[in-house]
């Protein structure tokens, strides 16, 4: 359409609700971040990673439990991605999905805000600020 105006709307619309970063003792070099990730769009979202200036790397994880020889074993597994369906949400919370902030560059302080950029497969980047809390 010559001379026309074209409007482009994002089909996938990620939104972060709430959230916090766990306060770790100064000698601990890793911590976790939690939040709820919502997809307000009409197409699926795939979270493939994150980055933050306060850590060397950020990885996606999910806690899991399994029973081995009658004993419950707790652990966490790294993930390549987390899918959020259209209109859906995924809770990143203790005992479930979470971001691991690995190789902290300095101790975090209670109440400070940590900038984390969420990276999606379609190239979308969502910057969030999460408070550091002791929970």
Ranges of each domain in the chain: 15-129
Q: What is the pLDDT of residues 7-23, one digit of tens each?
A: 444 456 899 999 999 99
CA angle 97, 47, 109 (to 5 degrees): 60
Position 73 confidence tier, pLDDT thresholds 50, 70, 90: confident
The residues, ordered by sequence, that sit 6+ positions from 96 with a Cβ below 8 Å of its Cβ are: 62, 63
Q: Residue 9 corresponds to which tokens in the numbers above?
A: 């709307």
Q: What is the pLDDT of residues 76-105, one digit of tens each?
A: 999 999 999 999 999 999 999 999 999 999
String of DSSP letters for 11-59: S--EEEEEEEEE---TT--EEEEEEEEEE-SSS-EEEEEEE-TTEEEEE
Q: Which is nearest to 9 in space by CA: 40, 38, 37? A: 40
Q: Which is nearest to 26 in space by CA: 101, 94, 109? A: 109
What CATH code is assigned to 15-129?
2.60.40.1890
User: Does the structure show a pLDDT above 90 at 120?
Assistant: yes
Q: What is the pLDDT of residues 24-43, one digit of tens each?
A: 999 999 999 999 999 999 89
CA atoms of 67 and 44, how far apart (whole Å): 33
């Amino acid at each position: 359409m010559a001379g026309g105006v074209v409007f482009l709307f994002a089909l996938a619309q990620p939104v972060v609700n709430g959230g916090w970063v766990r306060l770790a003792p100064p000698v601990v070099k890793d911590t976790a971040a939690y939040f709820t990730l919502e997809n307000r769009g009409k197409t699926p979202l795939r979270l493939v990673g994150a980055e933050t200036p306060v850590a060397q790397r950020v990885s996606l994880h999910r806690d899991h439990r399994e029973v081995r020889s009658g004993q419950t074993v707790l652990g966490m597994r790294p993930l390549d991605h987390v899918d959020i369906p259209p209109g859906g949400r995924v809770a990143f919370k203790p005992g479930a999905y979470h971001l691991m902030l690995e190789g902290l560059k300095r101790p975090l302080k209670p109440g400070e805000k940590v900038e984390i950029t969420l990276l999606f497969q379609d190239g979308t980047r969502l910057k969030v600020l999460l408070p550091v809390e002791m929970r």
